[in-house]
Amino acid sequence: KAGVTQTPRYLIKTRGQQVTLSCSPISGHRSVSWYQQTPGQGLQFLFEYFSETQRNKGNFPGRFSGRQFSNSRSEMNVSTLELGDSALYLCASSRKAGAVDEQYFGPGTRLTVT
């Protein structure tokens, strides 16, 4: 069974640009959650999607958005990039909504904003 895949793995963008990251969950998983990992703030929850609906959202500005498609693949978008958005973005999939069900993490997309 293929694991969670994230594309691209590495990305370099300039301040003010926007970026779209993609996450393909494990087959049969309907929930996708996104997390941001930085040395200063650690791991922080961004949002969760289940059956194409955002169920839960963390404390991030509106520049961070996401969506989920009917095949459960998810994308997150960051507009008007800032230097502080440089981070490892992790997505996790699970069969059910919520975090009690085991979440399987992808390898992450490392975004560098210059």
Partner 1 sequence: AQSVTQLGSHVSVSEGALVLLRCNYSSSVPPYLFWYVQYPNQGLQLLLKYTSAATLVKGINGFEAEFKKSETSFHLTKPSAHMSDAAEYFCAVIKTGANNLFFGTGTRLTVIP
107 binds partner 1 (CB under 8 A): yes
Contact string (CB under 8 A) for partner 1, positions 10-39, x = contact: -----------------------x-x----
Return the percent helix, strand and coil in the chain, to nearest 5. Answer: 5, 55, 45
- Confirm if 41 and 49 have CB atoms less than 8 A apart: no
User: Is 25 exposed, middle or buried, given 0-12, 13-18 or 19+ CB atoms closer than 10 A?
Assistant: buried
- Confirm if 61 and 50 have CB atoms less than 8 A apart: no
For partner 1, the closer of residues 18 and 101 by Cβ is 101
55 binds partner 1 (CB under 8 A): yes
61 binds partner 1 (CB under 8 A): no
Which of 24, 49, 106, 111 contacts partner 1 by CB under 8 A?
Answer: 106
Q: For 79, which DSSP code?
A: -
> Which residues make up the interface to partner 1 (CB under 8 A)?
4, 33, 35, 42-45, 48, 55-56, 58, 90, 92, 97-100, 102-108
